[in-house]
Each structure stands twice: as structure tokens, then as C-alpha cells.
Amino acid sequence: EAVELGGYEDYMLKEIHEQPAAVQRTLAGRLDAGGGIDLSESGVDLAGIQRIAVVACGTAYHAGLLGKYAIERLARLPVEVWVASEYRYAHPIGDDRTLAVAISQSGETTDTLAAVETARGFGAKVLAITNTQGSLITRESDGILLTAAGPEIAVASTKAFLTQVAVMYLLALELARVRGTLPEEELLALGRELRRIPERIQETLDLVQGRMGEAAGLYEDARSSLFLGRGVSYPVALEGALKLKEVSYIPCEGYPAGEMKHGPIALVDERCPVVAVMGRGVLREKTLSNVEETAARGARVISVAARDDADAARLSEVLLPVPELPELLGPLVASVPLQLLAYRVARDRGLDVDKPRNLAKSVTVE
Ligand code: G6P
């Protein structure tokens, strides 16, 4: 293959480990040392935008969901996030003050391209977030923000996802700056935290490496698995569930932790490991009590939490520690142990992690 494995056993593992560098390249030139942001390269005038519609498929859709939390919170602009195959037939509402943000690693996904066409139909401006310069989507858009993940070979997306999330956060900061919705100092402080994220991702890789065997061990006789989170940790749970089901073929569900009692709790028993993404702030406590209910029903719990989170440790068989960050930025580290978990469970089952059955890297048919 053109891209070398460089000592790794598979591309998925290699690409997980490339994430600090991939995110660093993606942020470079867009954030200065003081946390100031410059996204003027996007080529789209963001000043008059009144609503945003994000369209994407698969993992890119989850990056869109995280972008919604960030943009709504920081820039106070309403954001809808659509699975592209739904959007194209949904008769969506918008006008020339709508910004359609299309997220696509390949830039060639048919449904995402069609969703862009739909948005163009009512006069929306289109901003493409893609990893592939010169791809079809770049020709259909008014502006482009490239992710700098480098070539992603494994079918299950990892480094492309984190770079998409990083760009959505940059966009949220830029919108907040343009719209004046945040005090300057707060904006710069967040920018500086974002700039340090590549180191935090590396720290996470180092912290969790030694615990993945134990975490994957909980899946030896698993029949299904439930991934729970609230707020920004909810899309992290969705992405964690998608990753594990894609490469291990274990039925997995990602759910908002507070909604679990309205359905998925029926799945819970000792053969349905529960993965809890704790997050920070008030939602951490809410998530803890939701997860407690699953533990009371025999669930074996893996939690992604701060190293010193004694409550999470008490509830969990395995704690996957992540560095403490401002709540909004947490997903950039919390996603990493879940990628490694998916990888390890699939490898323990002897599966081909780079080329899971029935899946394609890029879906160029409807
Ligand atoms: C396929 C891939 C996923 C990817 C999705 C969207 O399903 O297997 O990893 O997230 O397509 O692809 P795109 O290139 O548009 O981001």
C-alpha cells in the first residue's frame, strides 16, 4: 500500500496514534499563541448568517453534533444537524442567510453532495469541511475548510473525526468572535485551550494504553453494549458505539444517559457492558446516577472519566482516565479511549479491523 504501516499492525491503530499530529496540523495557522483565531480562509462571509444546517453521514455526522453544541453555546446561533440522506428529501427550511456546513472526509459521499445541492436550491451558502483537496464537494461549495488528517486508510474513521471536531470548534470560536457573543478574554482562553489539545490527546493515549486489555476483557461474552453520555458526551457515546459495532460486529447503542430508562435499560444485564462517558459539571453527576441504575441491574461498567473521579471509579470495573478540560473540549480526548476499545475488542476476536465486512470507506452510491 502507498501509505506505510510504520511498525503498527494495522492502519486503524496507526491512525489513532497519529491524532495528536493530525489535530496539530489542522489547527496550525488558524489559532495564534494568544488564542486568537483567524478563519478568513473559509471564503464565506459569516457575518449575516442566521441559521446553520450541518449535513453529513456516519462519523462525520457525529462531528456535526459536537459542532452544534459548540456553536449554539458560544455563538448563540441555531444549528440543525442532519443525516444527509434524510436532509435531501426533507423539504428543509432555509434561505440565503442559511449556512450549510457539509462535513465529509472523502468529499465524495453521494448523499452529502445531494444535501449540498438541496441547500443550494434555496440559496444557502455552502461551507465544506473535508480532508480531500480537489474532491467533488470542494467544487460545489462557496468556501472550504480543510482538515489535515492526512490519508485515512482504515474504513472506521478515527483521525479524520477528531480533525473534523477541531474544525467545528474553530468555526464556533470564529462565529462567536464575528457575532460578539463572548467576552474577548473568554474567547482567547478557549482558543489557547484548543491549541493545547494535541498534547492532551497524546497524554490520553499514554494514560489509557495500559488499561485497554482489561476493558476489552469485559466483552468476552458480550451480546450487546450500551454507550451513555449527556451533553457533549452524548455524541461521544454515539461515536463510541458506532466504532465498536463497525469493527467488532457487537450490537451497540449510543444513548443520552437520561433517556436510557425509556428503552435501552431493558437490554442491561451482565452480558451488556455499559460504557459511561462522564464529562464534567452538573451533567457528570446526572450521568453518574443514570449509570448507577445500570450497575444495580448487573451491568459491568467502563467509564471514561477524570483520573481522580472517585465516584466513577466506585461504579466501574474499569476506569479509562482522561485529562480534565473545559467541558466543551472534553470530547476531543474522551473519544480516544473509545476508539482504542473498539480496536482492541475487534482484535481480540481475530477480526480484520481495517476492512470490516460490508462497509466501504466512501459511499459513492445513494
Ligand atoms: C462511510 C465510512 C465512514 C464515514 C462515512 C462518511 O460510512 O465508512 O467512516 O464516516 O462514510 O464519509 P465521508 O467521506 O463523507 O466523511
**Ligand 1 pocket by Cβ (under 6 Å):** 57-60, 104-106, 109, 112, 155, 157, 359, 361-363
pLDDT digits (tens, 9 = 90+) for 265-300: 999 999 999 999 999 989 999 999 999 999 999 999
Catalytic residues: 361
- Hey, whose CA ends up nearest to atom 2 of ligand 1? 361
Atom of ligand 1 nearest to the CA of 109: 15
Q: Distance, CA 57 to ligand 1 centroid (Å)?
A: 6
Atom of ligand 1 nearest to the CA of 132: 14
* Block residue for cell numbers 459521499: 109
In whole angstroms, give the CA distance from residue 94 to residue 162.
Answer: 29
pLDDT digits (tens, 9 = 90+) for 172-213: 999 999 999 999 999 999 999 999 999 999 999 999 999 999
pTM of the model: 0.97
Residue 3: band (very low, low, confident or very high) from pLDDT cuts 50, 70, 90? confident
In single-letter form, the type of residue at position 77 comes to: L
pLDDT digits (tens, 9 = 90+) for 96-142: 999 999 999 999 999 999 999 999 999 999 999 999 999 999 999 99
In whole angstroms, give the CA distance from residue 42 to residue 46.
Answer: 9
Q: Distance, CA 309 to ligand 1 centroid (Å)?
A: 34
Which residues are within 8 A (CB) of 156 and not within 5 positions of it... i.e. 6 or more apart?
12, 59, 243, 246, 247, 342, 353, 356, 359
